[in-house]
Amino acid sequence: MQSLVIVAHGSHLNPDSAAPTHAHADTIRETGVFDEVRTGFWKEQPSFREVLRTARGEDIYVVPLFISEGYFTERVIPRELRLEGWDPALWESDGISADTATLVASDIDKEVHYCGPVGTHEAMTDVLIRRAVSVTGDDEVGEGFGFAVVGHGTERNENSAKAIEYHTERIRETGRFDEVRALYMDEEPEVDDVADHFDSEDIIVVPLFIADGYHTQEDIPEDMGLTEDYRTGYDVPAVVDGHRIWYGGAVGTEELTADVILERAADAGADIGDAIARVRQQTKPTTGAVGE
């Protein structure tokens, strides 16, 4: 029996924070490859401290639904899950290459496989591209388009910028988009001046965030000038300084993110059969319906 445990931040104020976690848990549950899929949160119930005791499997895979390696994935989660002998060095990561570590969780006296965060897995690049497709409604989108991956910046965590750079570079390597840039909320190059950083008339903007909330729904749309007041909403695309901005919101809400969670568990040894392929197929956006 194998269990998947997805751990995420959650919120005391905003129900949208946990929504992607629940949605991806449901998607994975439907594939039937795990005997159970549990979710645990920093701010909601069940807490990180108690989530492992809700899991019954012999093989337990813990996947953090977080964007970067840092304070949460290296300190808070291992401490709260009570992973004996945890040391971030076990991941042998340069900040974006965490894979998995197998440790006894003293809460349940059993070994668990503690995986790196979803945000730094290479498959997350595909999710960013999938979001470009879903926000434009065009399966073939790429030519004539610029792509901005947006992050917090280094202020709070150096690795968060590394994750942004990493996916930006990987999207660039596909050669699919005319231009690909990393932009930040609190440092240069800033998302506020998005139009200044691109020649392309059409720019897709996708924040590398797990859930929609204050930053992705209020801050970024207002800073980019998509709207004066987030409460009145914004158009997709919205015209700013002669560019059409296709703003995608937090990438973590893209259904394909479920796939990255599966990849993380598979990398740690979970037997998931063809679930990845099935999720890819199932989460495909019905293109052509989105847009103006």
- Interface residues with another protein (CB under 8 A) are 11-15, 22, 26, 29, 42-47, 49-51, 53-54, 56, 71, 75-76, 79
Please identify, using beta-carbon distances, which residue of 14 and 282 lies nearer to another protein.
Answer: 14
Looking at residue 47, the DSSP 8-state letter turns out to be B
CB of 114 to another protein, least distance (A): 18
CB of 54 to another protein, least distance (A): 5
Residues facing residue 227 across a β-bridge: none
Please identify, using beta-carbon distances, which residue of 22 and 291 lies nearer to another protein.
Answer: 22
How far, in Å, are 107, 119, 243, 260, 279 from residue 263 at the CA level? Answer: 26, 12, 36, 5, 11
Pick from 21, 26, 28, 27: nearest CA to 6: 21
Please identify, using beta-carbon distances, which residue of 22 and 32 lies nearer to another protein.
Answer: 22
Strands 59-64 and 2-8: parallel
Please identify, using beta-carbon distances, which residue of 57 and 189 lies nearer to another protein.
Answer: 57
CB of 70 to another protein, least distance (A): 11
Please identify, using beta-carbon distances, which residue of 79 and 196 lies nearer to another protein.
Answer: 79
Please identify, using beta-carbon distances, which residue of 22 and 143 lies nearer to another protein.
Answer: 22
Please identify, using beta-carbon distances, which residue of 42 and 86 lies nearer to another protein.
Answer: 42
Cα torsion for 31, 80, 70, 259, to the nearest 10°?
A: 0
In 38-77, which positions are buried (b, 16+ CB within 10 angstroms) versus exposed (e)?
A: bbbbbebeeebeebbeebebebbbbbbbbbbbbebbbebb
Q: How far apart are alpha carbons 254 and 267 in whole angstroms?
A: 21
CB of 72 to another protein, least distance (A): 10
> Is 191 within 8 Å of 223 (Cβ atoms)?
yes
Please identify, using beta-carbon distances, which residue of 6 and 182 lies nearer to another protein.
Answer: 6
Contacts of 109 (CB under 8 A, 6+ apart): none
CB of 233 to another protein, least distance (A): 19
> Is 56 within 8 Å of 2 (Cβ atoms)?
no
CB of 159 to another protein, least distance (A): 16
Left, alpha or beta for 39 (phi > 0: left; psi -120 to 50: alpha)?
beta
Contacts of 116 (CB under 8 A, 6+ apart): 64, 69, 73, 91, 93, 97, 98, 99, 100, 264
CB of 50 to another protein, least distance (A): 4
CB of 76 to another protein, least distance (A): 8
Cis amide bond preceding 189, omega within 30: yes
